[in-house]
Each structure stands twice: as structure tokens, then as C-alpha cells.
Structure 1
Amino acid sequence: MIITPTVEGLLLCEEVIAQKSIVDIERAYTYCDERGKSGAKALERLLDTLEPGGPRERCRSATP
């Protein structure tokens, strides 16, 4: 089982983040969708920060 947190706005495109006039999350997603954009690049950078080079197919256990 994999448990992952959900962060609202994590997949917003970079263009909408720069638009300070858009404050509604649904409008923000619509803005990105209408332009064919997503937050995939930002998410990729975040994941690379957490595990540089990508996943290594290892399981991490909280217990020794």
C-alpha cells in the first residue's frame, strides 16, 4: 500500500502561478487546461529534490 498526501495546487502550471489575479483553484486549473499546460515540470523538480536521479526501486521501511 502506498499512502501519499494530496497538496492542493501541486499540479498547477507555472503560467497560472504568475497570474496573481486568479485566486480560485478551479479557475486556475481551467486556465491551465485551456492552454494545454500542467504542473508536471514543477512536480518533476520537486520529486528530483526529494530523490535526486529518480526512484531507485528500493523500499524504505520506517522500522529497522
Structure 2
Amino acid sequence: MADEVIGARWSDADLAELAGGVGPDGRRLPGNGWMALRRLGWGAVPPAGVVVSDRVRRIAEEEA
């Protein structure tokens, strides 16, 4: 799941958005990586047919 997030968001524009430190709503991005990804709408999504807990999603998002 982390690989999917990285593959989808590893571009100059997305990295600049993340480095800017401000979300689309104008608020400062959280310090936790997984929370920042979710605020940006970049959350990890499990493969079709696979159910994972929110904790596993947070781990994948933090790793990304």
C-alpha cells in the first residue's frame, strides 16, 4: 500500500505541495506523516477484496 501511495504521488508538483506544509483547506499540515497524507487526500487504499484495519493503513501511510 505504501508503494501505491509513493508511485501515485512521487512528482515534483506533489512533493512541492507536501513541502509547502499547508493542506488544501489552508490549514497547516500535521506533523505525523500519515495524518498529513490523509489531509492531502493521499491516503493508502488496500487492494480490492482485501480488508485491513485502520492501524495497518496508518503504517503504510507513515512508511510512504
TM-score normalised by structure 2 residue count: 0.30
Structure richer in helix, relative to its length: 2
Which entry has the higher C-alpha Rg, 1 or 2? 1
Structure-1-length-normalised TM-score: 0.30
